[in-house]
Amino acid sequence: MKSHGKEKWSLSAALPHRSAFTLIELLMVVAVVVVISGAAGGLYLGTYQNRVIEQAGRQMLLTAGYARLFAVENQRSCKMQFDRNQRKYWLSYDEYDEESPDPAAKVIQNQYSKPVSLPETVQFEKISVVPMNRQEMDLANDANGDAIRFYANGSADSAGIVISNGKTRYTLQVAAATGKAKLDFGSPNEFARDIVDLDQP
């Protein structure tokens, strides 16, 4: 008696055996990875640049706030000076000497204040300072550069400083009557001068 053996069929035997990706498949995977990496890198770079200019604006706001505090606490005027070309700013005050009729500018350097350089991607786009009196206006037009003077009574020169990285802008505004500074996102067409909000602290 003959016994007929059952033939076994498997799916693996029916399909051709593949052990690796083809060159086209590998190139497609690499292209997809490159596109995703480029998009993520662009988003990260934009976010990083925005973070850098925001921090630069906040540092400038803190410096202006300390300038007002220094002037009131020490009962002497204090200047926030700007160097457009070097992209720097710092605080100073005038120190008088009996031997010299002209005051010497002393840079304030302590744990709260030191000269600050803007990041490489950030620059001063506009510096507008209106001194409180005519004598100060004449001094501002000298070769001393741009400076905001904060006075012992809490007032200050009216000012607007715009910093930019080419895409994003922040504006520091100083109110003359109160000497208080605020930081706004963007660049206003005209700086609001001598507007005092008595409800704000």
- 26-30, 45-49, 160-164, 190-194, range with the lowest pLDDT: 190-194
Model confidence pLDDT, tens digit, residues 54-106: 999 999 999 999 999 999 999 999 999 999 999 999 999 988 777 767 777 88
pTM confidence score: 0.67
* CATH 3.55.40.10 given to domain 26-185: yes
- The mean pLDDT of 157-184, rounded to a whole number, is 92
Q: What is the pLDDT of residue 41?
A: 57
Model confidence pLDDT, tens digit, residues 98-138: 776 777 788 999 988 899 999 999 999 999 998 876 555 54
pLDDT at residue 14 greater than cutoff 90: no
- Over the chain, what HEC string results? CCCCCCCCCCHHHHCCCCCCCCHHHHHHHHHHHHHHHHHHHHHHHHHHHHHHHHHHHHHHHHHHHHHHHHHHHHCCCEEEEEECCCCEEEEEEEEEECCEEEEEEEECCCCCCCCEECCCCCEEEEEEEECCCHHHHHHHCCCCCEEEEECCCCCECEEEEEEECCCCEEEEEECCCCCCEEEEECCCCCCCCCCCCCCCC
pLDDT at residue 139 greater than cutoff 80: no
Q: Where are the domains of the chain?
A: 26-185
Q: What is the pLDDT of residue 44?
A: 55
Task: Calculate the average pLDDT of the chain.
Answer: 78
Q: What is the pLDDT of residue 191?
A: 46
Please tell me which residue, 41 or 69, carries the higher pLDDT value.
Answer: 69
- The mean pLDDT of 178-201, rounded to a whole number, is 63
